[in-house]
């Protein structure tokens, strides 16, 4: 048997992984707000794993639910046959979703949820006799996972440049990142008019060719970019006017990150579909879902005959163990008031974070709910290096932060205390003073 720290065969295709292989940072256990590293050190989790462990780590109720479910009914398909947990979780999800979103379609990840939503959008128009609507619109600096649909509508050119032709007929709205040194608290005041570019795309191609617009209500993985006030409202108006579906990718913002169950409620804008994953099971078991409006569901499922079958689904869609994890996770969020906790901590978080503004290299700070971004001035010719150095130093100092380009992103578990916020930001301040 190979030794547990034998990394020969392990491959994740990220550059940072080369550094990881040279000096592995191994996590061996976790509890609540902390990871324990192989060397025995406690690491304060400033990122909820990868934006997913919203209730913190190894929460007994979720652990127990998964253990019991594995022993009781390990696997059962959730189509053609069923099991009660799949129905229960779907109802629970639509209960916390915005009004008008009332069906849930299960997948296994955020990427699958995105590809599923895009396929549903295309099929929906076809089911209604509008099969010319095939164009999909994303955003520059949008991130929607790594499926073929997701990288096509995603705005990160590096993520798609090696893969040849992807989905045809995709446009990208200009991104909403506003000038640096603004140190915006919450939503920027100006920039809603960036949504009007959608009108330009509609005029160019004709509304009858456009199926859907997909956006993250708050872009996470491309640097934590807040939507300017009025931006999402404007997108909703324009899409509605032209019969275009609006999809919110809430893989990051779902489940309390902004202080409400979904960002849709935080912004008061209801899309036609919401994609979610990550916090759906607190990161414990892979699971994603597409939540849809009744109109979308009805286009496939009502009428004299099924107008069109939606040939789509996964072996593990709605599997019992994932559903049990999802239900126990929602129980935990609800019992502990976690879906609104980010709103309660907002002021404290904002003040702590913006206290970093005068430290070396800091050129912008952004916050919303329990998400924060500290953008550093990049080093010429070495994009991302300074922020990655900060990540390494932070890990040594006992805090976990995340880096996207030259931006440090933080999204701690929603159970974080005010004292732990102060510890996280205090240690980050020391790190920023120490890096070149
Ligand atoms: N959409 C968004 C907005 C995301 O942030 C992510 C993952 N960071 C995904 C989709 C893809 O999710 P997954 O990694 O579970 O496939």
Which phi and psi angles does 400 have, rounded to 5°? -105, 120
Q: How high is the pLDDT of residue 15?
A: 53
| Residue in the block written with tokens 């935990």 | 332
Lowest-pLDDT range, 304-308, 310-314, 384-388, 431-435? 304-308
Q: Is 109 in the pocket of ligand 1 (CB under 6 A)?
A: yes
> H helices within 52-108, ranges in order?
60-72, 84-96
* Cα separation, 286 vs 288, whole angstroms: 7
Tell me whether the CATH fold assigned to 15-54+338-434 matches the one assigned to 64-335: no
Residue 217 Cα distances to 37, 56, 228, 341, angstroms: 34, 23, 10, 19
Q: Assess whether pLDDT exceeds 90 at residue 181.
A: no
Are 64 and 74 spatial neighbours (Cβ–Cβ below 8 Å)? no
In this structure, how many other beta carbons lie within 10 angstroms of the beta carbon of residue 22?
A: 8
Are 371 and 421 spatial neighbours (Cβ–Cβ below 8 Å)? no
Q: How high is the pLDDT of residue 174?
A: 87
Distance 110 CA to ligand 1 centre (A): 4
Q: How far is CA 237 from the centre of its chain?
A: 24
Distance 277 CA to ligand 1 centre (A): 8
Q: How far is CA 196 from the centre of its chain?
A: 25
pLDDT tens string 288-302:
999 999 999 999 888
Local confidence band at 178 (pLDDT 50, 70, 90 cut-offs): low
80 CB burial (10 A radius; 0-12, 13-18, 19+):
exposed
Q: Is 141 in the pocket of ligand 1 (CB under 6 A)?
A: no
Lowest-pLDDT range, 2-6, 168-172, 254-258? 2-6
Q: Assess whether pLDDT exceeds 80 at residue 190.
A: yes
* Cα separation, 66 vs 53, whole angstroms: 15
* Cα separation, 386 vs 313, whole angstroms: 43
Distance 352 CA to ligand 1 centre (A): 28
* Cα separation, 135 vs 149, whole angstroms: 12
Assigned token pair, 256: 């309390």
* Cα separation, 40 vs 33, whole angstroms: 15
What is the pLDDT of the chain when averaged over all its residues? 93
Which phi and psi angles does 256 have, rounded to 5°? 90, 0
| 15-54+338-434 fold | 3.90.1150
* Cα separation, 345 vs 413, whole angstroms: 12
pLDDT tens string 35-89:
999 999 999 999 999 999 999 999 999 999 999 999 999 999 887 788 999 999 9
Local confidence band at 136 (pLDDT 50, 70, 90 cut-offs): very high
Distance 198 CA to ligand 1 centre (A): 24
Are 91 and 292 spatial neighbours (Cβ–Cβ below 8 Å)? no
Q: Assess whether pLDDT exceeds 80 at residue 259.
A: yes
Are 61 and 331 spatial neighbours (Cβ–Cβ below 8 Å)? yes
**Nearest of 218, 51, 232 to residue 142 by alpha carbon:** 218
Q: Is 54 in the pocket of ligand 1 (CB under 6 A)?
A: no
Q: Is 285 in the pocket of ligand 1 (CB under 6 A)?
A: no
Q: How high is the pLDDT of residue 12?
A: 67
Local confidence band at 306 (pLDDT 50, 70, 90 cut-offs): low
Lowest-pLDDT range, 189-198, 270-279, 307-316? 307-316
* Cα separation, 178 vs 228, whole angstroms: 9
Local confidence band at 177 (pLDDT 50, 70, 90 cut-offs): low
**Nearest of 298, 276, 273 to residue 136 by alpha carbon:** 273
pLDDT: is 308 or 216 the higher one?
A: 216
Q: Mean pLDDT throughout 157-161? A: 88
% of the chain surpassing 70 pLDDT: 95
Nearest CA to ligand 1 atom 7: 145
Beta bridge partners of 293: 101
Assigned token pair, 38: 């192989």
State the Cα angle at 300 between 268 and 303, rounded to 5°: 115
* Cα separation, 357 vs 12, whole angstroms: 34
Distance 59 CA to ligand 1 centre (A): 23
Name the architecture of domain 64-335.
Answer: 3-Layer(aba) Sandwich (3.40)
pLDDT tens string 217-242:
999 998 899 999 999 999 999 999 99
In this structure, how many other beta carbons lie within 10 angstroms of the beta carbon of residue 82?
A: 12
Lowest-pLDDT range, 108-112, 161-165, 253-257? 161-165
DSSP state letters, 301-359: H-TTTTSS------TTTT-HHHHHHHHHHHHHHHHTTTTTHHHHHHHHHHHHHHTTTTS
Which phi and psi angles does 258 have, rounded to 5°? -105, 10
Atom of ligand 1 at shortest range from CA of 277: 15
Q: How high is the pLDDT of residue 8?
A: 77
Out of 12, 107, 141, 144, give the residue to mutate to test ligand 1, the one with the largest number of ligand atoms within 8 Å of its CB: 144
Q: Assess whether pLDDT exceeds 80 at residue 16.
A: no
Residue 269 Cα distances to 172, 176, 202, angstroms: 21, 18, 21
Q: Mean pLDDT throughout 25-40? A: 95
Kindly give the pairing relationship between strand 371-376 and strand 407-410. Answer: antiparallel
Crossing angle (nearest 10°) for helices 385-397 and 418-434: 130
Q: Assess whether pLDDT exceeds 80 at residue 419.
A: yes
* Cα separation, 395 vs 25, whole angstroms: 9
Q: Where are the domains of the chain?
A: 15-54+338-434, 64-335
Q: Is 46 in the pocket of ligand 1 (CB under 6 A)?
A: no
pLDDT tens string 196-221:
999 999 999 999 999 999 999 999 99
């Amino acid at each position: 048997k190979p030794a547990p720290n034998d990394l020969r065969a392990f491959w994740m295709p990220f550059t940072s992984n080369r550094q990881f292989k040279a000096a592995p940072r191994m996590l061996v256990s976790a509890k609540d707000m902390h990871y324990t590293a192989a060397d025995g050190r406690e690491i304060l989790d400033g990122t909820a794993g990868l934006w997913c462990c919203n209730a913190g780590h190894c929460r007994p109720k979720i652990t127990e639910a998964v253990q019991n479910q594995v022993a009781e009914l390990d696997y059962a398909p959730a189509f053609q046959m069923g099991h009660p947990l799949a129905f229960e979780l779907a109802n629970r999800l639509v209960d916390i979703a915005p009004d008008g979103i009332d069906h849930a379609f299960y997948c296994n990840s955020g990427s699958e949820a995105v590809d599923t939503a895009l396929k549903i959008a295309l099929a929906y128009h076809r089911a209604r006799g509008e099969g010319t609507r095939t164009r999909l619109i994303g955003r520059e600096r949008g991130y929607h996972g790594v499926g073929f649909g997701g990288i096509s509508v995603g705005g990160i050119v590096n993520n798609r440049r090696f893969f040849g032709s992807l989905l045809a007929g995709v446009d990208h709205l200009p991104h909403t990142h506003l000038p640096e040194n603004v140190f915006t608290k919450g939503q920027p005041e100006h920039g809603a008019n960036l949504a009007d570019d959608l009108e330009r795309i509609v005029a160019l191609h004709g509304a009858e060719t456009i199926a859907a617009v997909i956006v993250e209500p708050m872009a996470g993985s491309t640097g934590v970019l807040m939507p300017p006030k009025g931006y999402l409202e404007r997108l909703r108006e324009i899409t509605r006017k032209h019969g275009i579906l609006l999809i919110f990718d809430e893989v990051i913002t779902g489940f309390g990150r902004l202080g409400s169950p979904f960002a849709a409620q935080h912004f008061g804008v209801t899309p036609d579909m919401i994609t979610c994953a990550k916090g759906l099971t607190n990161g414990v078991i892979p699971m994603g879902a597409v939540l849809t409006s009744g109109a979308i569901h009805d286009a496939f499922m009502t009428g004299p005959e099924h107008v069109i079958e939606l040939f789509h689904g996964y072996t593990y869609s709605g599997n019992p163990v994932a559903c049990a994890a999802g239900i126990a996770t929602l129980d935990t969020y609800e019992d502990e008031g976690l879906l609104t906790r980010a709103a309660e901590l907002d002021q404290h978080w904002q003040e702590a974070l913006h206290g970093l503004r005068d430290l070396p290299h800091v050129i912008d700070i952004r916050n919303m709910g329990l998400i924060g971004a500290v953008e550093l001035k990049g080093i010429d010719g070495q994009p991302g290096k300074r922020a990655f150095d900060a990540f390494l130093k932070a890990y040594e100092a006992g805090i976990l932060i995340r880096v996207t380009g030259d931006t440090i992103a933080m999204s701690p578990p929603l159970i974080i205390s005010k004292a732990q916020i102060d510890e996280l930001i205090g240690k980050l301040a020391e790190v920023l003073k120490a890096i070149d």
